[in-house]
Chain A
Amino acid sequence: MATPVLPAPADAAFAAACLDAGQPVPGFIRCPAGERPERRFSVYRNNVVASLIGALEAKYPAVAAIVGDEFFRATARLFIAAHPPRGPVMARFGGPFADFLAGFPPAAGLPYLPDVARLEALVLEAFHAADALPLAHDHLPALASGAIALRRHPAAFLLRSQWPVLTLWRMNTGHVELAAVEDWSGQEILVARPGLEVSAVLLPPGAAAFLETLEVGPAAAAAAALDVPGADLSLILAALAQAGAFCAPEVQP
């Protein structure tokens, strides 16, 4: 028995009319006498669009809080039309939202918005990332002696922003009170999930450079960190370790 390779015209017409409310209801649709096909078909149209808007809202709550419900929904509709989901795992839907916002003229007055979306995408990525034990305090002597190597934790992600996006994200997700932002300097942020809870913390100078270069080796990472003005290597290591940026060693020392 061969599986047909192409979807039938019926499914194609149904899907197209679902995604575009401007299209007429396909002629093969039937409903009870006296009923308008548009009314019945709109249930599918609403389900598709409302469920996808809901999925975006769940993934980007701070963006939604910043721009407000009406703006968010209108933006989400346009985003969905341009970047519909390519598979059934909703956690993977909406990846290009930050880039979409960056090129979305109505949001141009909020230049930090794309980075807020990037931070929210990393929070969800950390939430679902692979589990691993984080580096613990009692690993530190072995680390200092070179007996174990530093490895980045699989649920640890960096974001460098020229905006104070961690502050904006905290204020718009209920972590801290809304207030006027005094300091508009950029922030380097670590999103991590050493256990089951995701956290996002501000990193000291040089920590992002250290983590980004860690793959090359510890000496290169230290050198990259120390290139950054104000970097203090012991402070960097302590901050990264405490935030859950590193894995426990594979073999216990």
Chain B
Amino acid sequence: MTRTSLPAGAGVGFKPQHFAEIAAARQPLAFFEVHAENYMGAGGLPHAQLAALRADYALSVHGVGLGIGGLAPLDTEHLARVKAVCDRYQPESFSEHLAWATHDGVYLNDLLPLPYTEARLAVVAQHVAEVQEALGRRLLLENPATYVTFAESTIPEAEFLNEIARRTGCGLLLDVNNVFVSAVNHGTDATAYLDAFPLHLVGEIHLGGHAEAEDGAQTPLLIDDHGAPVADPVWALFAEVIRRIGPVPSLVEWDNDVPAWPVLRAEAERAGRLLDSARRIAA
């Protein structure tokens, strides 16, 4: 099974509107990440841009639609499309989410949450194994941002992810914005989550922005919208993680209200500086 890895520097989630500026000069970035589902057409501009990026940078392919966390069987046609993208571009990393979106053949286009039970654990581990088998690659599984929990959940999320990794050999993608968003939404402690998280399995970190619901309600509600700069408490969590485990490939995601390229690049460079200082301390 292919087990390559991204360079332990800062990367950016690629947006097509930034292509010309990215291509105009060598960017001070370690890698780019794309959503697999945006490259499932036969040809045209998306593939031309991705081929050009891939020639110059390390690449992470990030899936959003496999529905690994659902009880429904994996969509084998979609898995074949993901495999085609991976085979064509040979990314250093492939990652997906602990979430689901398809029910009864209808795709809900969101990352929906799941109960953390023994029964669900068995199904998710089976899905991860199927994906790794089909792709011939090790997968990184991402912790979700959630807004609700389930009455039937019996396993803490960090332990659930750890157990999937133990059963399947997959790695983990730690989204520190998701850690923060979920902790605020559920009134739990983000640092305690990190204490429980198997940080040695982290193959990539995600950083992104969130929004605060402004509806006058008493309890805070954060929404993982990737539509803003990374928030200060999320930078602090990031610094804490890399202080503990050293530099890790780290990505800035900005998918809504996408800013101009220099703004996004500056966010990634901030992550890069933190990684550099973690590297000096580790050395």
Binding site for B on A (CB under 8 A): 1, 3-8, 10-12, 14-16, 18-19, 27-32, 34-37, 39-41, 43-44, 47-48, 51-52, 55, 84-91, 126-131, 154-155, 193, 196-197
| Nearest-Cβ distance from residue B96 to partner chain A, whole angstroms | 11
Q: Is B223 at the interface (CB under 8 A from chain A)?
A: yes
Q: Does the CB pair A29–B150 fall under 8 Å?
A: yes
Instruction: Please measure, in the bound complex, the distance between the C-alpha atom of A91 and the C-alpha atom of B39, giving whole angstroms.
Output: 10
Q: Does the CB pair B42–A87 fall under 8 Å?
A: no
Most chain B CB neighbours (cut-off 10 Å) among A37, A85, A193:
A85
Q: Does the CB pair B107–A7 fall under 8 Å?
A: no
A39 touching B217 in the complex, CB below 8 Å, given contacts A11-B103, A15-B108: yes
Q: Does the CB pair A10–B115 fall under 8 Å?
A: yes
A86 touching B40 in the complex, CB below 8 Å, given contacts A30-B149, A31-B149, A34-B218: no
B47: chain A residues within 8 A (beta carbon) = 131
Q: Does the CB pair A89–B46 fall under 8 Å?
A: no
A18 touching B45 in the complex, CB below 8 Å, given contacts A40-B148, A40-B221, A91-B40: no
Q: Is B123 at the interface (CB under 8 A from chain A)?
A: yes
20 A-B pairs, CB-CB below 8 angstroms?
Answer: A7-B71, A8-B71, A11-B71, A29-B150, A29-B151, A39-B215, A40-B185, A43-B213, A47-B109, A48-B109, A87-B77, A88-B75, A89-B81, A127-B44, A128-B43, A154-B42, A154-B43, A193-B44, A196-B44, A196-B48
B65: chain A residues within 8 A (beta carbon) = 87-89
B130: chain A residues within 8 A (beta carbon) = 3
Q: Does the CB pair A88–B107 fall under 8 Å?
A: yes
Chain A residue with the shortest CB-CB distance to B107? A85
Contact of A43 among B42, B81, B122, B147 (CB under 8 A): B147
Q: Does the CB pair B147–A44 fall under 8 Å?
A: yes
A18 touching B112 in the complex, CB below 8 Å, given contacts A86-B107, A88-B65: yes
A88 touching B101 in the complex, CB below 8 Å, given contacts A40-B221, A44-B147: yes
A196: chain B residues within 8 A (beta carbon) = 44-45, 48
Instruction: Please measure, in the bound complex, the distance between the C-alpha atom of A204 and the C-alpha atom of B186, giving whole angstroms.
Output: 64
Chain A residue with the shortest CB-CB distance to B150? A28
Instruction: Please measure, in the bound complex, the distance between the C-alpha atom of A154 and the C-alpha atom of B112, giving whole angstroms.
Output: 37
Q: Which 6 A-B pairs have the closest CB atoms?
A: A88-B65, A128-B41, A15-B103, A131-B43, A130-B42, A47-B110
A10 touching B42 in the complex, CB below 8 Å, given contacts A3-B126, A43-B223, A48-B110: no
Instruction: Please measure, in the bound complex, the distance between the C-alpha atom of A128 and the C-alpha atom of B127, giving whole angstroms.
Output: 29
